[in-house]
Amino acid sequence: MIEFNQVTKTYRKDWKALDDLTFTIDQGSYTFIVGPSGSGKSTVLKLIYGAISPNKGYVQVSGFRIPGIPKNQLHLLRRKVGVIFQDFRLMEDRTIYENIAFVLLVTGTPRKTIKDKISTVLASLRLTHKIHQYPYQLSGGEQQKVSIARALVREPFVLVADEPTGNVDPEGSAEIFQILKDINSSGTTVIMATHELDYVKNTPFRVISLTQGKIVSDTKEKRCIQ
Ligand SMILES: Nc1ncnc2c1ncn2[C@@H]1O[C@H](COP(=O)(O)OP(=O)(O)O)[C@@H](O)[C@H]1O
Ligand SMILES: [Mg+2]
């Protein structure tokens, strides 16, 4: 479970990026975080993957609490949370195989295990034929699938996606969205920030709407706070 308890985040003195936010996200659920640019979506996600710390309140992700987590344990949290970004963040001078292998090499995974894991994940995403290509040779949608593969090989219990379809054409976006749904069906918690409201219009999933760092509606609560 993920818990935000009275979380306030200020990057600058005079402005609250998040203002006293309290909510929980159930293990295994799919949640959209929506809201205009600057409403605090990325800040919520950064708190979940331990990139930043709240100024007030706390964030609890599985057994880890921020603030409070010792610095030398932060990497354990980051390992458990898969993250994908709008701009993919692949290493341009490395092949698809090398991009995915990198995150496993740094944790000391044996080479044979790495090879097997990468074969399996690329097959499941129908990307095996791209394994020795470089990111620039792939479409936006394919690059995003590689970044999903890179997150999945670490077997995260939660996958956080920050505007994952922002640099992908409509067809690729639909595929990315379907892949995220499949990942969720297999038991992984998925949290996706987006400002593309088409995805969330008729969704059965939970939608948390932010405006200026506050929750203005939350479909789980079946009510609007306005
Ligand atoms: N590193 C930063 N330094 C200063 N202000 C920031 C920083 N990151 C975000 N902000 C501010 O915090 C608010 C929320 O930003 P963000 O979480 O990125 O929103 P969103 O992802 O919804 O566009 C915005 O007002 C933004 O300008
Ligand atoms: Mg953002």
Per-residue pLDDT reduced to its tens digit, 73-93: 888 888 899 999 999 999 999
For ligand 1, is residue 13 a contact (CB within 6 Å)? no
- pLDDT recorded at residue 177: 93
Over range 157-169, report the average pLDDT: 95
Percent of the chain residues topping a pLDDT of 70: 97
Q: Which pTM does this prediction carry?
A: 0.94
Sign of CA dihedral 39, 218, 196, 170: positive
Give the span between the Cα atoms of 51 and 45, in whole angstroms: 9
Looking from the CA of residue 45, the nearest atom of ligand 1 is 17
- pLDDT recorded at residue 72: 87
Give the domain ranges of the chain: 2-224
Percent of the chain residues topping a pLDDT of 90: 84
DSSP state of 28: T
Looking from the CA of residue 195, the nearest atom of ligand 1 is 22
Answer yes or no: is pLDDT of 224 > 60: no
Give the model's confidence band at 164: pLDDT under 50 very low, under 70 low, under 90 confident, else very high.
Answer: very high
Q: Which helix (H) or strand (E) holds 206?
A: strand 206-211
User: N- to C-terminal Cα distance for the chain?
Assistant: 27
The burial of 70, by beta-carbon neighbours within 10 Å (0-12 exposed, 13-18 middle, 19 or more buried), is given as: exposed
User: What CATH number matches the domain at 2-224, 3.40.50.300, 1.10.1740.10, 3.30.420.240, 3.40.50.280?
Assistant: 3.40.50.300
Give the span between the Cα atoms of 14 and 86, in whole angstroms: 28
Answer yes or no: is pLDDT of 225 > 50: no
Give the span between the Cα atoms of 67 and 77, in whole angstroms: 12
For ligand 1, is residue 209 a contact (CB within 6 Å)? no
Give the model's confidence band at 221: pLDDT under 50 very low, under 70 low, under 90 confident, else very high.
Answer: low
Residue 126 in tokens:
């129908």
Looking from the CA of residue 15, the nearest atom of ligand 1 is 25
Backbone dihedral angles phi then psi of residue 97, each to the nearest 5 degrees = -55, -50
